Amino acid sequence: MLAGSLVEQYGTCGKTGCRCARGQKHGPLYYLYWKEEGRSRSRYIPREQVSAVRRHIRNYHQFQIALSAVLRRQHRPVPRSPKERSR
């Protein structure tokens, strides 16, 4: 599982004779973004790892959905015991 967002980005290198100076940006480059201790963090993801990272993010989202369902069931009213009903 992996929490975060995978972002596809295009960029320029700054070289005057490069194709990116004429508008054809480099990329796509992939970055994973997440929050840690209130700050945004990012890490470059090589192309050959993109599908695995997407799978890990999808697994995290499925886990979050399952956890939400469990927590919703926990918050249902607890049945009272026979002893408590007689009061």
The pLDDT score that the predictor gives to residue 33 is: 97
Kindly list the strands in the beta sheet with 39-45, ordered across the sheet, starting from the edge strand earlier in the chain.
5-11, 26-36, 39-45
Output the CA–CA distances (angstroms, integers) from residue 49 to 1, 7, 75, in the order listed. Answer: 14, 13, 39
7, β-bridge pairs: 31
pTM of the full predicted structure?
0.72
pLDDT in tens, 2-49: 899 999 999 999 898 999 988 899 999 999 999 999 999 999 999 999
Higher-confidence residue: 81 or 33? 33
Q: Which residues of 38-76 are buried (b: 16+ CB within 10 A; e: fewer)?
A: eeeeeeebeeeeeeebeebbeeeeeeeeeeeeeeeeeee
